[in-house]
Amino acid sequence: MRVLVVEDDVRIAGQVTETLRDAGYVVESADEGEEAQFLGETEDYDAVVLDLGLPGVDGLTVLQRWRAAGRGMPVLVLTARDTWRDKVTGLRAGADDYLAKPFELEEMVARVEALIRRAAGHASPLLACGDIQLDTATGRVTLAGRPVALTALEYRTLSYLMHHVGRIVSKTEITEHIYGQDFDRDSNVIEVLINRLRQKIGRKIIETYRGRGYRLVAPADEEH
């Protein structure tokens, strides 16, 4: 999963970025409003952590412009202001959640996890497809109750497919959500990752649709 962190305070930005990366996310960052607006309008993110007190274009304006441009990624707003009026203003501008500074980094990660799950239609942190279970809170993956050891890239790929069970997901879409913007998107690495996952969780659970992508399916949903 890919997250954009928009924060001009170097210390806070570093802490948030490092914590999210440790939790398994691909993280990109911006420290001012114009850059953030551009990235949010041109790149695909699963969530954004957005500070309101940015230099130049403020975070609230950036958020309003994203929503006006039809960008629907979930946004967690960070701000030093903690009045109910500020919260209402942020939520009405299009924020999905609100966290006042200072905050606990663990809470921030939990809120990002919840926003990504809900955006994909999942209420529980435990995602399941057939015998495969993925706990977004712990990063633990099991097959019929037995733990499955995955590399970081394998986990990100499976996590994205698990969040979108039943939907055909293209190679390009997977690439955009498990790598940063500087990755070579013409690479065949996605095919390699899918093959590795099939070896670890079973070949039938990931269907291939030539020219379109891949679909994660539970056994009852298998078409062939």
The β-bridge relationship of strands 206-209 and 213-216 is antiparallel
- Does the domain spanning 126-221 belong to CATH 1.10.10.10? yes
Largest CA distance in the chain: 55
Instruction: Kindly write down the DSSP assignment for every residue of 210-224, as one continuous string.
Output: TTTEEEE--GGG---
What is the pTM for the complete model shown?
0.84
Is it the case that residue 183 has pLDDT exceeding 90?
no
Is it the case that residue 216 has pLDDT exceeding 50?
yes
Q: pLDDT category, 181, cuts 50, 70, 90?
A: low
- What's the gap between Cα 202 and its chain centre? 25
- Which distant-in-sequence residues (6+ apart) come within 8 Å of 195 by Cβ? none
C-alpha closest to that of 47 among 91, 127, 110: 110
Which architecture characterizes domain 2-119 according to CATH?
3-Layer(aba) Sandwich (3.40)
> What are the sequence ranges of the domains in the chain?
2-119, 126-221
What pLDDT digit, counting tens, does each position of 39-97 carry? 999 999 999 999 998 988 999 999 999 999 999 999 999 988 767 777 888 888 899 99
Distances (CA, A) of 206 to 67, 136, 139: 34, 20, 20
**Rounded Cα–Cα distance for residues 174 and 161 (Å):** 8
